[in-house]
Amino acid sequence: MYQTMTPGPTNVRENVRMARSLPTTNPDLDEGFFDFYRETCRKLSRLMHTENQAYILGGEGILGLETACATLTEPGDRVLVIENGVFGRGFADFVRMYGGDVVEFSSALERPVPVAELKAFLESDSDFKYATVVHCDTPSGVLNDIQSICTLLAEYGILTVVDSVAGMFGEYVNVNKSHIDVLLGGSQKALSAPPGLTMMWVSNHAMTVMENRKTPVASFYANLLNFKDYYEHKEFPYTMSISDIYGLNVAIDNVLADKDILDRHARIAHATRVAVTAAGLSLFLESGHSNTVTVVVVPEGIKDEEIIETMKADHNILIAGSFDVMAGKVIRLGHMGENARVDAMTGLLAALGETLKKLGFPVACPMDQAFLKDLL
């Protein structure tokens, strides 16, 4: 098996893997499981600085994105899709799928969404039921200022939907301060549980809007209303992925116990950027680097696949290329959650240096040493 250094899925700690192997009960019939599920969700709310109710849904991160759009959108609703990346743009597909009328606010991939320009745009048009925005758009690694963006949208009475699947637990998220109505996360990024679960945090306001729909939600699996009052009714819409949730609960405890987690991401991300540029490589972004991933331009004359395949064959390390409009242009080094560790990153950077040398790139300095030096 490769050492996985991609921007998710991430490495999973042994205590999470062990929790997933525990004996299971019937999650539909055992009242104890409802308490366990609710307690796990309450910890999630605490971690995101909110009393908004959290939900854990049985499906990978994308299910959360679709569920937010499916449950909020009624045919003809105007929805503002704020985008400067692949996942940002992808929201438009979900909105249209459920009959929404998409208006896009698009900006350059190389930097964060410009908040002043967004404000100017809203001055001329703010008649939207909700808006979507991505915190860390992983294919390019850009980090958007969700606090400023969502606070601004809230001033115009627009509900906010934020995909922080690749941001949360590696970057600070404060739901209350940022006025986020629907926050979306996934198990397999900085939380460092295996893929399989979506987490959603939903404000009372958003829940009321969902409940007051005039038309039924055109989905069962992606209908959040099916989770409403699950605890009071002792009823989930479908059998919960109990082993995955056992694992998630321990991954949450790991994060709660790790007081250094955000600073660690910041230190490692900074040192990685320093090392990569010192070696003569270029970062894709001009500004707005997320602390969860470093996105490096593929040097002239080399193919992304050559780098990725050599890293696998010679060093047994798995890194990522990118996709959609970013395909072929960059390689991505994931340092989120359990991957944001000095040992793992030192090994990764040493291997990347050797790989690039082998492929003919004049590596200007040993990247692992530049990385360690920056951490001092």
Ligand X SMILES: *Cc1c(COP(=O)(O)O)cnc(C)c1O
CB 55 within 8 A of CB 203: no
CB 114 within 8 A of CB 84: no
Which C-beta is closer to ligand X: that of 190 or that of 370? 190
Distance CA 297, CA 157 (A): 39
Tell me which residues touch ligand X (CB under 6 A): 8, 60-62, 87, 134, 137-138, 163, 165-166, 186, 189
Write down how long the chain is. Answer: 376
Residue 164 CB, nearest approach to ligand X (Å): 8
Residue 65 CB, nearest approach to ligand X (Å): 6
Residue 58 CB, nearest approach to ligand X (Å): 15
Per DSSP, the residues of 242-274 read HHHHHHHHHHHHHHHH-TTHHHHHHHHHHHHHH
**Does 332 belong to an annotated binding site?**
yes
Which C-beta is closer to ligand X: that of 197 or that of 278? 197
Which C-beta is closer to ligand X: that of 138 or that of 203? 138
- Which of 270, 133, 139, 255 is closest to 190 using CA atoms? 255
Neighbours of 181 (CB within 10 A): 26
Rg of the chain, C-alpha, whole Å: 21
Neighbours of 59 (CB within 10 A): 17
Which C-beta is closer to ligand X: that of 4 or that of 346? 4
Which C-beta is closer to ligand X: that of 132 or that of 346? 132
CB 43 within 8 A of CB 252: yes
CA 68 from chain centre, in angstroms, equals 15
**205: enclosing H helix or E strand:** helix 204-211
Residue 292 CB, nearest approach to ligand X (Å): 9
Neighbours of 138 (CB within 10 A): 30
Which C-beta is closer to ligand X: that of 163 or that of 181? 163
Q: In the bound complex, which residue of the shown chain has the CB atom lying closest to ligand X?
A: 61
Residue 161 CB, nearest approach to ligand X (Å): 12
Residue 29 CB, nearest approach to ligand X (Å): 31
Q: Which residues are annotated as a binding site?
A: 332
Q: Which residues are annotated as a binding site for substrate?
A: 332
